[in-house]
Amino acid sequence: MEIQMISSRPKGRMESAPDSEVPLLNAIVSCLTREHQRFEEPLMRLANAATRLHSDPSNSKLYKDAVAAWSALSANLWTHLQLESDVVLSWGAARNDVPTELVEALRSEATRIRELVKAFDSAGDRLEAAKALSGLAHLLDEHIERQDHQLFPAIQRSLFKHPVRPN
């Protein structure tokens, strides 16, 4: 006897968002956008401190500044990345009007962010730590820029796209 699975969603990529998803996804995108704005100051501090530490790795004050900037940024980063991955990127990957290449690029960046954090955590000296933190600052800036200027607008267009219904 063959059992057929019933799914509330069709397989493959979808053209538009069901009405029930619009408020939730819109709220999540708005929340992530606000978090990106809150990341700006600690991200700039991290980039500045890591760059300065890279040129003077023996300077204890610069190291402390870089670690403090990273701590301020990383406090909310993990939940932010998890929300992006589990909700926003998964949702975007299921839509025809959110480019697959964009979703894959963002997933790849998130993986690289985690790799750079591991490199920082396992750094054998301050120069290695500075390199990892500089890479993190640069990649996080690109990641946020790509989301704010490419992904979120694509999601907004998808959310508010109203297909023409036949009479």
CATH of region 19-159, choose from 1.10.3720.10, 1.10.260.40, 3.40.50.2000, 1.20.120.520: 1.20.120.520
- The number of helices, as runs of H, and strands, as runs of E, in the chain is 6, 0
Q: What is the pLDDT of residue 152?
A: 93
Q: Which residues pair with 95 in a beta bridge?
A: 14
Taking all residues of the chain, what is their mean pLDDT, rounded to a whole number? 85
Below-50 pLDDT ranges, the chain? 1-11, 13, 162-167
Global confidence as pTM: 0.82
Quick check: 126 and 94 in contact, CB under 8 A? no
